[in-house]
Amino acid sequence: MTEINPRVDIAFKKIFGVEENKDLLISLINSIVSIDDQVSEITLLNPYNPKNFKQDKLSVLDLKACGSDGKRFNIEIQICDEADYNKRALYYWAKLYTEQLKESADYGTLSKAIGIHILNFTSLPESDKYHNVFHIVEKENGLQYFKDLELHTIELKKFTSSITNESSDIFTKIKTSLDIWVAFLTKHNLFDKEHLPKNLNKSGLKKALDVLAVMNFSEEERQGYEDHLKWLRMQMNTIKKYEQIAEARGEARGEARGEAHGRFSEKLELAKKQLKRGVAMELIMEDTGLTEDDIYAIKGSA
């Protein structure tokens, strides 16, 4: 099998979603959330289990965890762009929040829920930042009343767009703990775990590289990983194909509109000349194909 890609959700969950690697997940979460939401201990709510993708090999393998203070976290990595992804992210957050409330429980028992979406595509072209944080705030004064809702988007391509395949280039790019994890997910092949700069060892990067290097899949896991890779490639090729078709159609529509506009302009010019010569309305309509209203409009603007 080819080198394992940590952005494929099965591999991602096997790295961050097992008990022995909870420290890596804690480090990843803490690199994303605010100081107030930092965690020192977590409970995995849906730990990695190869049997999960035996039933549905193309299911979404998200990671759910609960901090010691009750806060809920949902971490999902998404390779392919999807229509209405923003709605899906909000739906996942709503499930994470509402599933806390057991029968007869009080609303006061609900804890903050934080959705973290690591995206291998550009979802927010309006923002130059690769990490964006969303809350519900009052429209005019920015008051944050509904404090239990928080969504993060991490767009990997925005981080890697200016990076070459030189390790020195990525070392220069890394400034924060989140930069380290994004670099691991996208450029892990550029790291030599035996010669890491001191500032890159703090987040558990060396352990993550070790885990990735020695990761062994059972036959069932291997098949699931390969199936996911195959499906992702098909999805990406399909998306690329439709983008090309849409672009071609857009160009064709633009050309057609341009030609139609040109023909209409020619008819207007002809109608103006005929009006100046005193040609009868009926003959102008016959020669140009313009309507009576069109010609009256030309008269009015003359």
Asked which of 66-75, 79-88, 187-196, 214-223 is least confident by mean pLDDT, the reply is 214-223
Read off the pLDDT of each residue in 96-124 and give the average, rounded to a whole number.
Answer: 89
Predicted local confidence at residue 81, as pLDDT: 74
37-68 residue pLDDT tens: 999 999 999 887 766 655 554 455 689 999 99
Predicted local confidence at residue 94, as pLDDT: 94
Computed over every residue of the chain, the mean pLDDT equals 81
Predicted local confidence at residue 62, as pLDDT: 86
Read off the pLDDT of each residue in 22-26 and give the average, rounded to a whole number.
Answer: 95
Predicted local confidence at residue 239, as pLDDT: 45
Percent of the chain residues past pLDDT 70, beyond the cut: 74
Does 146 have pLDDT greater than 80?
Answer: yes
69 Cβ contact partners less than 8 Å away, ≥ 6 residues apart: 39, 111
Q: pLDDT band at 181, cuts 50/70/90? A: very high
Helices (H), the chain: 9-16, 22-32, 52-55, 85-98, 156-160, 167-173, 177-187, 205-214, 219-276, 281-288, 292-301
274-296 residue pLDDT tens: 877 777 777 878 877 777 766 66
Read off the pLDDT of each residue in 187-204 and give the average, rounded to a whole number.
Answer: 80
Could you tell me which residues are beta bridge partners of residue 119?
Answer: 78, 155
Q: pLDDT band at 79, cuts 50/70/90? A: confident
**Helix, strand, coil share of the chain (percent; to 5):** 55, 10, 35
CA angle 249, 255, 257 (to 5 degrees): 100
Read off the pLDDT of each residue in 104-123 and give the average, rounded to a whole number.
Answer: 90
